[in-house]
Amino acid sequence: MGRSSRNKNSLQNEHRQTIQSVSYRGLIPPPDMMEQFKTVDSNLPERIVRMAERSFDVAEKELDIVAETQRKDLSIREHEAETMRMALKDDSKYDFRAQMIILSMVVLLLSAIVILGLKGEATLAGFVAAGGFAAIIIAAIKGVSNKTKQ
């Protein structure tokens, strides 16, 4: 019994190890760690610094993109607010009448296209659709551009 307990103790002593853990914050390790890296590969500290610089550059570009996106979002909101303000002005009655006229033109045009299609005049229905919608779109654009000039 004495012999087996001695073997167990000697085996336990042989397998003991010490593990050390080191941590740091930031992109670049502390100088003493960089010196240890130099023993592994003399170029390793320079490569680590270059990686940190690239990481910083990427982060800076990402911040620029976020800032630009926020500026664009703000300009879209400002445009929407201006559009709403213009729609609420006194002359918004004109806009409503114009919208009703355009709506009725679209309904009449669609009705004509359906009737022509049911009669078997698909080609004629296509020409009426193309011409009618083009006329409506041009009228709407000219109406908007004339209004902005005033």
Residue 78 has a pLDDT of 77
Other CB atoms within 10 Å distance of the CB of residue 17: 4
Domain holding 39, by residue range, is: 26-88
- Asked whether 52 and 28 are in contact (CB, 8 A), the reply is yes
- Asked whether 133 and 109 are in contact (CB, 8 A), the reply is yes
60 or 150, greater pLDDT: 60
Q: What predicted TM-score, i.e. pTM, was given to this entire model?
A: 0.35
Verify that 53 and 108 share a domain, yes or no.
Answer: no
* pLDDT tens column, 58-109: 888 888 888 887 777 767 777 777 777 766 665 555 566 777 777 888 888 8
The structural domain count of the chain equals: 2
Is 14 within a domain?
no
Verify that 79 and 99 share a domain, yes or no.
Answer: no
Is 17 within a domain?
no
Nearest to 70 by CA among 62, 59, 81: 62
Other CB atoms within 10 Å distance of the CB of residue 36: 13
Verify that 118 and 82 share a domain, yes or no.
Answer: no
Is 125 within a domain?
yes
Is 35 within a domain?
yes
Is 137 strand, coil or helix? helix
Is 102 within a domain?
yes
